[in-house]
């Protein structure tokens, strides 16, 4: 069996009779691929009447079409570095939707890249999932350079801090000079503003040399609104029966959906196999609309596990639906996905720290202590209960999952950037509360994540930004202001006028980390030392407990008020060790609960205090 045939079977394409190779025996694979006698150009354009290859100043070459709408051409003169475009119906000139690099911009010619040449002869083995301490990074805003090299220069800093994995926000190419990355139109092409494919590969090699894993945030639920030409020649790439909040849903169903699945799965394999990423975070998977018998998420995970045997590949989800079954374990290992972002934990914690109760925080403001404690002991706060924002059930039972099936954080790009003014917690709460939140995030047995700069309590905002033009820019500005019109602080047009324009370049530059401040500010140095100390405790004390495995978890609420009180949560391992976290979120002292005998990992000892002070947190480890 040829390799292409094997992949077809693993992707399940044989269900639709898709078994043959393409024209002239060339494998039908999205994109331009270097073969023995040149470059094989492939484009799935089922609604195009004709397609021509425009190759670096040469005369247009008409491409051959098969019954499935695949256009192919084998060019003996093309090679790595060749620039090319496609002309649709003798009129519209477009880039390759599967382009592996766009040296200029998304609407300019694509470049032939041999991504297989990027593969390492000796693979970095990665680290066990329980060791993950994730640090989320926007490449463009992380450093003054705004490049992969700018991230690479700070890797020793992150290693010394105790970070074991960096997670890059989406780097797929988007129109314009700056963007969060979630509006990608060319998913295979690393954004040229950050550097070329070799620069990205150098970043991964440098991280691996320091034993730092690198994860990538990928977006498969929609494509961006500008310079997305797929509708012009591949209408079937999208499913008219479904929609998302960001645009038409991709088509994952039926015969045409099989080619779209293949496109997305090939993208995942490229990042993991060719560039060497150690894991993927899938954005908003609740917006992947798929009524197929075998859901795309299952097919994606199973194909990755099959194609990359022996690799430690960590697959993570953002999932508003709290679908615990996607995180199920088999023989102690994830069947499909390691973990989901724990937004329930964040939302409950944020309400307790700030007192905010507008927007999606409203669904956690009724009993934030219970929501927080349940998240800590069971993963999700909502496990089928009615969610106030939607007035319908949300979530599935999750108490059976291990703690490391959820990723906990006090801040991330969404929770900061979705605020009108992009404020970090360091601008909203006291240093004492900020330290309490950091200790809670880093010393519980769930997987922790920090957002860039959080370790030093920086006050630099992280705003929503995009470089749209024309109507898209105006719609984005107006939509942003309308989104916050129901918040008290932005209830009038004058108040909403203070919201930064997402398409103003100054908004992007205001979001860049100030490393002079991080490196020189006494306040940043003090909080960074706290973070480093907590991470040292985590690596030495908490990770071994996760390796043992937890068999039970218990929670109690402290005080008699659902908003003004504390929590006492405990986890027991298979060997009988008990991890206890006690925290006071009230503005008054609380009676000290009974503490487990053993080692105090963090906080004051009971002999020193008979009450749990406001902002206090105690973490103890009891031995059998």
| Residues known to be catalytic | 283, 318
Distances in Å between the Cα of 434 and the Cα atoms of 350, 353, 429, 439 are: 11, 8, 7, 9
Backbone torsions φ then ψ of 23, nearest 5 degrees: -65, 140
Whether 235 and 257 have beta carbons less than 8 Å apart is answered as no
Whether 28 and 43 have beta carbons less than 8 Å apart is answered as no
Query: Taking the C-alpha atoms of 172, 177, 183 and 186 in order, what is their torsion angle to the nearest 10 degrees?
Result: -40
Interatomic CA distance for residues 176 and 102, integer angstroms:
12
Strand bridging mode 110-111 / 92-94: unpaired
Backbone torsions φ then ψ of 361, nearest 5 degrees: -70, -20
> DSSP string covering 297-329, please?
HHHHHHHHHHHSTT---EEEE--TT--GGGG-E
DSSP state of 144: S
- Measured at the CA of 136, the angle between CA 418 and CA 542, to 5 degrees, comes to 115
Nearest to 277 by CA among 214, 338, 217, 336: 214
Distances in Å between the Cα of 417 and the Cα atoms of 373, 420, 424 are: 26, 7, 9
Backbone torsions φ then ψ of 509, nearest 5 degrees: -65, -30
Nearest to 13 by CA among 222, 230, 263: 263
| Token reading at 178 | 């700056």
Task: Map residue 74 onto helix, strand or coil.
Answer: strand
For residue 393, what are the contacts with CB-CB under 8 A and spacing of at least 6? 384, 385, 386, 387
| Token reading at 612 | 């749990």
Whether 450 and 434 have beta carbons less than 8 Å apart is answered as no
Within 13 A of 79's CA, how many CA atoms are on the CB side?
1
Distances in Å between the Cα of 345 and the Cα atoms of 220, 351, 543 are: 25, 10, 20
Whether 467 and 427 have beta carbons less than 8 Å apart is answered as no
Whether 478 and 490 have beta carbons less than 8 Å apart is answered as no
Nearest to 409 by CA among 619, 135, 128, 617: 135
Distances in Å between the Cα of 87 and the Cα atoms of 49, 229, 357 are: 11, 11, 52
Task: Map residue 374 onto helix, strand or coil.
Answer: helix
Burial 478-516 (b: 16+ CB within 10 A, else e): eebbebbeeeeebeeeebbeebbbbbeeebbebbbbebe
| Token reading at 26 | 């060339």
Burial 153-174 (b: 16+ CB within 10 A, else e): ebbeebeebbbbbbbbbbbbbb
């Amino acid at each position: 069996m040829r390799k292409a045939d094997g992949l077809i079977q693993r992707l399940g394409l044989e269900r639709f009779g898709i078994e043959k190779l393409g024209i002239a025996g060339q494998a039908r694979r999205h994109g331009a691929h270097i073969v023995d006698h040149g470059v094989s150009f492939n484009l799935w354009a089922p609604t195009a009447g004709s397609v021509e290859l425009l190759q670096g100043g040469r005369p247009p070459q008409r491409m051959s079409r098969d019954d499935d709408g695949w256009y192919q051409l084998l060019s003996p003169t093309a090679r790595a570095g060749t620039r090319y475009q496609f002309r649709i119906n003798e009129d519209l000139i477009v880039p390759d939707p599967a382009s592996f690099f766009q040296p200029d911009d998304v609407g300019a010619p694509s470049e032939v890249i041999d991504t297989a040449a990027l593969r390492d002869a000796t693979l970095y083995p990665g680290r066990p999932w329980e060791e993950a301490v994730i640090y989320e990074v926007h490449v463009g805003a992380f450093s003054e350079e705004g490049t992969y090299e700018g991230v690479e220069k700070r890797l020793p800093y992150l290693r010394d801090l105790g970070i074991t994995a960096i997670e890059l926000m989406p780097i797929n190419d988007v129109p314009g000079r700056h963007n969060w990355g979630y509006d990608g139109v060319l998913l295979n092409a690393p954004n040229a503003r950050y550097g070329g494919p070799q620069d990205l590969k150098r970043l991964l090699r440098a991280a691996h040399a320091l034993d730092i894993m690198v994860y990538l945030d990928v977006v498969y639920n929609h494509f961006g609104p500008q310079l997305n030409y797929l509708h012009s020649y591949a209408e079937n790439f999208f499913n008219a029966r479904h929609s998302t909040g960001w645009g038409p849903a991709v088509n994952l169903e039926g015969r045409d959906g099989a080619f779209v699945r293949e496109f997305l799965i090939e993208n995942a394999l490229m990042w993991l196999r060719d560039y060497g990423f150690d894991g993927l975070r899938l954005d908003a998977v609740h917006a992947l609309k798929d009524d197929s018998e075998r859901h795309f998420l299952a097919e994606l995970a199973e194909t990755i596990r099959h194609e990359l045997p022996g690799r430690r590949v960590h697959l993570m989800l953002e999932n508003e639906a709290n679908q615990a079954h996607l995180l199920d374990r088999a023989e102690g290992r994830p069947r499909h996905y390691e973990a989901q972002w724990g937004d329930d934990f964040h939302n409950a914690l944020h309400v307790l720290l700030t007192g905010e109760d507008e927007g999606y925080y409203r669904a956690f403001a009724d009993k934030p202590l219970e929501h927080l404690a349940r998240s800590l002991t069971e993963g999700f706060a909502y496990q089928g209960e009615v969610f106030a924002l939607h007035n319908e059930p949300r979530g599935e039972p999750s108490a059976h999952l291990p703690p490391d099936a959820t990723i906990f954080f006090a801040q991330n790009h969404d929770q900061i950037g979705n605020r009108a003014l992009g404020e970090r917690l360091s601008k909203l709460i006291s240093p004492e509360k900020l330290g309490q939140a950091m200790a809670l995030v880093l010393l519980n047995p769930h997987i922790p994540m920090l957002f860039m700069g959080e370790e030093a309590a920086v006050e630099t905002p992280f705003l929503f930004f995009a470089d749209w033009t024309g109507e898209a820019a105006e719609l984005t500005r107006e939509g942003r202001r309308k989104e916050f019109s129901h918040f008290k602080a932005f209830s009038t047009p004058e108040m909403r006028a203070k919201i930064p324009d997402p398409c103003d370049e100054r908004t992007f530059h205001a979001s860049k980390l100030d490393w002079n401040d991080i490196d020189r500010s006494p306040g940043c140095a003090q909080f960074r030392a706290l973070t480093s100390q907590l991470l040292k405790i985590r690596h030495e004390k908490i990770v071994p407990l996760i390796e043992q495995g937890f068999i039970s978890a218990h929670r109690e609420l402290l005080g008699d008020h659902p908003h003004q009180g504390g929590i006492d949560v405990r986890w027991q391992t298979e060997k009988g060790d008990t991890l206890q976290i006690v925290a006071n979120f009230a503005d008054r002292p609380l009676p000290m609960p009974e503490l487990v005998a053993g080692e105090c990992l963090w906080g004051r000892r009971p002999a020193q205090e008979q009450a749990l002070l406001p902002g206090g947190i105690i973490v103890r480890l009891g031995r059998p």
